Structure 1
Amino acid sequence: MTLPPPPPHPPRPPAPRRWLGGPGSLQRRLLLAAGAFLGVALIAAGLSIGFVLHRFVRGQVDGRLDDRLLSLVSDLRPGPGGALSLGRDRDGPPFDRPRSGWYWQVGRGGARLGSASLEGRDLSVPEIPRRHRDDDGPAPADGTGPWGEGLILRILTVPGAAGQPPTIVAASAPKAALRGPVLDALRTLALCLGVIGLFLFAGVLVQVRLGLRPLRRLRDQLTEIRAGALARLPERQPAEIRPLVCEMNALLDQNAANLEHARAHVANLAHSLKTPLATLSMALNDPGSGRDGSLARLVDGMDRRVRHHLRRARAAAIGGPARSRVDLAAHVADLRLVLTRIHADRDIAFASEIPDGLGVACDPQDLDEMLGNLIENACQWCRRRVRVEARRAGAEVVVRVADDGPGLDGEAAEAVLKRGRRLDESQPGNGFGLPIALELAELYGGSLALGPSDLGGLEVRLTLPA
């Protein structure tokens, strides 16, 4: 049974550069919720303050009109034949401006006295609302002036003497006297509330970013663990995420222990099978053995079991925390030194184009096995030139091993990736190099592809996680 290769690690998403964060982020949710609550609070505060301002200005206007009513009543003098008269002139500003909306009128029966602003016209005094009829003070009312303007009225009823009708004293102010100051105050209030809201939202924004900074730092630390720069998460964390960090460290320790157990299991297995495999191999290679079919089947069965347990152990290694960051240039340089000595008689021109600091996330021994098989194959089939180059491609590293040998067509390229298949029996080898490299690459979530090289031969593209 062959275990399927584990899925590749997804590339780390780029950190959101927007202040509000990306869709679905905690920062975005917190800021949107805070903005909504701040907006509702500011609107409610504006409405409440506007209501208070309206009542305050209305109280000021009503007080001014009530003062006018009381002064009119105090100056009212009885005249001959039931006529009305005032002890002194009450047409001071603003009741002296025609059509200003600031009017007063005193009426008893058919007699009338009015302010100069009425220009001789009568002020239509509405009926006092029922809820204010029994009050001793002035009653509020809304009405319309002689020229159709909206008015705020205060009406005072003074009972008459025996047999005389009551005296109705009314004073009015234009509704603009109430609406204008309120609107001016509300504009200033809206500006102030807007500035306060911006400062409050800025404070919430800074608070959210500072509060989420430990999570961003934890994400970076996990990335360093996956890249091999850290073995465990630092335990010095805020109290809210310290339990999470402890659980993650415990999981990392458990995975490390499982990895060591798996490696020990593979080592024991390899040691126990080394002697019988060597014996069977010698027996099969003996010219007099005649390639016994039962021995061949036994070797094939043991080979399948060994590969099965190796896959299990490698899968545990891939999933554990022990993946380290391996410097690609250093390993290629070591392999180059070894292989140029092995093929010293062929004078191979070996070129390496690998940026400094470029690394892959895999086990060093696995990297040596993959690169060793690929470069050894290139050195074996090249005429004179071998080139190894690597570059970063997002979250992966692509290694290209090219030679100027005879190359392969499409069908031959598929054939050589099958275990034990060799196209030229005259060359040394057993046909396991490229399939092993492919299997290791897939276990790390990478790939292996063959194609033509610009040198004229074969190019092998090995893809591994960065």
Structure 2
Amino acid sequence: MSARRPGGSLQRRLFLGALVFVTLALVVAGLAIGLVLYRFARGQIDARLDGELLAMSSDLKPGPSGPILAAPHDGPPFDRARSGWYWQVRAGDAVLRSPSLGAADLALPQVPEPEDGRPVPADGTGPRGEGLILRVLRLPGPRDGPDIVLVAAAPAAALHGPLREAGKTLALALGLLGICLIAGITVQVRLGLRPLRALRDDLAAVRAGASERVPAEQPQEIRPVVTELNLLLDQNAANLERARAHVANLAHGLKTPLATLAMAAERGAEPGLAPLVAAMDRQVRHHLRRARAAALGGSIRTRTDLSAHTSDLAAALSRLHAERGVAIATEVAPGTSVACDAQDLDEMLGNLIDNACRWAASRVRIRAARDGGLIELRVEDDGPGLTPEQAAHVLQRGRRLDETVPGDGFGLPITLELAELYGGALSLERSDLGGLLARLRLPA
């Protein structure tokens, strides 16, 4: 048992899959770039604070009540009150503060003891509860004295504000990149699936009879599929030809025995033989029609140019009836085609046009028009025409209205049978020209 294959749209599946991967890639890229920007911005602030701490540590000197700074460190931005940029030096109870800190103290969090004498990062809270980024440097104090703790602080907004602005720009850039990628994916999917659409059109042309095979010039990925399709078409065509040959052989094989029986019935060789022969003829024709319909199961692939066949038959029959002076006018648009075998079409057209020429006074008109999925062919003449009862009578096999006119009475019934075989119809009406109008409807 074969595994169930998923349905749906291949284009939609490809597009959604690519969209998911692009979205994940953009999210990962955004997070990675954001982390890099954060580390860069934090490194810049830490370097600035470390520079301030190292400068203060080099200017520290012992004083009478604690450490003092030999040089002022009140430059911007540490001179603006409550700016978030603070520094503080504490040795026991002695405290030195930046002008921006005023009389407030910085609460120091627990920080690990540095091993190399370098500043240690920390996060703290300012006098107004604002978030601060801290760098803490612990120096050994004088003998028997407390350690000296130097703290430099920067507002957390100095880090998060630029990151927020950079994040907006980054999100916009990634969004534009995502739109471009999605547009590129859409174009790529459409271009990638274009050979499949071309293959669909080629198969439609084969089904309509415009082509016998699918072109072999295909992309490498679908070339094996096209090869298998062409092999299948060849096999179906061979089966069709064999089936039609069998039907033809059957028809020819039964024609002679039935004709012999019919002649015997006409001579009255056996009473009651004529009804049996007629019944056999009906049964044989019925089953032959069914067999032929099965053989023509692929007839939708048959495409016959109606305009060309009509013109050829009209020209031939015009010469045949030239002594009667019958003019045949055809009004069939070039390119008009029907889904019908060429030989069957010639037989139907030949019967109708020949019948019109036999009964026409001087004019025969042939027109064709499309009606939905059917082509309606109208063959008209300016002869005497038929009543509805006569029209029904002549559609019966072997029935003739005038024995003086050459013919065997089988043309119109055969045309009707062939038309019905292809899903069409034949009707006889009164023409505007005064004579007979034969409407032959065949699939387009």
State the distance in 2 between where 1:219 and 1:432 align: 39
State the distance in 2 between where 1:451 and 1:127 align: 108
1:89 maps to amino acid: P
Post-superposition Cα deviations, 1:410-458, rounded to whole Å, max 9, x if no partner, equal xx89x95998489x9736735724641442222xxxx437598894976
State the distance in 2 between where 1:454 and 1:89 align: 120
Equivalent residue for 1:426, pick from 373, 383, 401: 401
Unaligned runs of 5+ residues in structure 1 are 1-22
**Structure 2 residue 261 is the aligned partner of structure 1 residue 274:** no
State the distance in 2 between where 1:98 and 1:342 align: 119
Report 1 or 2 for greater relative contact order, CA contacts < 8 Å, sequence distance ≥ 6: 1
Q: Which residue of 1 aligns with 2:135?
A: 154
Deviates more, 1:89-98 or 1:219-228: 219-228
* Pairwise CA distance, 1:237: 3.7
* Pairwise CA distance, 1:401: 1.6
Post-superposition Cα deviations, 1:377-396, rounded to whole Å, max 9, x if no partner, equal 777888987654334567x4
Post-superposition Cα deviations, 1:234-276, rounded to whole Å, max 9, x if no partner, equal 4444433232222222222222221221222122222212212
Deviates more, 1:196-205 or 1:84-93: 196-205
State the distance in 2 between where 1:417 and 1:106 align: 126
Q: Which residue of 2 aligns with 1:218?
A: 199
**Structure 2 residue 11 is the aligned partner of structure 1 residue 27:** yes
State the distance in 1 between where 2:326 and 2:338 align: 27
Q: Which residue of 2 aligns with 1:298?
A: 277
State the distance in 1 between where 2:15 and 2:161 align: 37
User: How many pairs does the alignment contain?
Assistant: 426
**Structure 2 residue 125 is the aligned partner of structure 1 residue 144:** yes
Cα distance change on mapping 1:278 and 1:389 into 2, 3 Å: same
Name the % identity: 50
**C-alpha contact 2:79 2:98 (8 A) present in aligned 1:** yes
State the distance in 1 between where 2:396 and 2:312 align: 27
TM-score (norm 1): 0.75
- Give the 3-state SS of the residue equivalent to 1:265 in structure 2: helix
- Give the 3-state SS of the residue equivalent to 1:172 in structure 2: strand
Cα distance change on mapping 1:248 and 1:292 into 2, 3 Å: farther
State the distance in 2 between where 1:332 and 1:233 align: 29
Q: Which residue of 2 aligns with 1:46?
A: 30
Deviates more, 1:62-71 or 1:135-144: 135-144
Q: Which residue of 2 aligns with 1:122?
A: 104
Cα distance change on mapping 1:440 and 1:298 into 2, 3 Å: same
State the distance in 2 between where 1:419 and 1:426 align: 11
Q: Which residue of 1 aligns with 2:96?
A: 113
**Structure 2 residue 44 is the aligned partner of structure 1 residue 69:** no
**Structure 2 residue 269 is the aligned partner of structure 1 residue 309:** no
1:296 maps to amino acid: P
Q: Which residue of 2 aligns with 1:98?
A: 81
Q: Which residue of 2 aligns with 1:329?
A: 307
Post-superposition Cα deviations, 1:301-337, rounded to whole Å, max 9, x if no partner, equal 244234423432443334279x443221122223434
State the distance in 1 between where 2:354 and 2:422 align: 17
State the distance in 2 between where 1:176 and 1:389 align: 88
2:60 maps to amino acid: L
2:62 maps to amino acid: P
State the distance in 2 between where 1:270 and 1:324 align: 22
**C-alpha contact 2:302 2:340 (8 A) present in aligned 1:** yes
- Give the 3-state SS of the residue equivalent to 1:312 in structure 2: helix
Cα distance change on mapping 1:266 and 1:123 into 2, 3 Å: same
Q: Which residue of 1 aligns with 2:341?
A: 363
State the distance in 2 between where 1:86 and 1:378 align: 127
Equivalent residue for 1:249, pick from 226, 230, 237: 230
State the distance in 1 between where 2:205 and 2:89 align: 91
**C-alpha contact 2:109 2:123 (8 A) present in aligned 1:** no
State the distance in 2 between where 1:261 and 1:441 align: 19
- Give the 3-state SS of the residue equivalent to 2:100 in structure 1: helix
State the distance in 2 between where 1:391 and 1:269 align: 36
State the distance in 1 between where 2:14 and 2:328 align: 57
Deviates more, 1:398-407 or 1:183-192: 398-407
Unaligned runs of 5+ residues in structure 2 are 1-6, 404-408
* Aligned alpha-carbon RMSD (Å): 4.0
Cα distance change on mapping 1:150 and 1:389 into 2, 3 Å: farther
* Pairwise CA distance, 1:341: 6.6
1:260 maps to amino acid: E
Cα distance change on mapping 1:156 and 1:206 into 2, 3 Å: same
**C-alpha contact 2:138 2:149 (8 A) present in aligned 1:** yes
State the distance in 2 between where 1:259 and 1:349 align: 40
- Give the 3-state SS of the residue equivalent to 2:82 in structure 1: coil
TM-score (norm 2): 0.79
State the distance in 1 between where 2:431 and 2:25 align: 69
**C-alpha contact 1:370 1:436 (8 A) present in aligned 2:** no
1:180 maps to amino acid: G
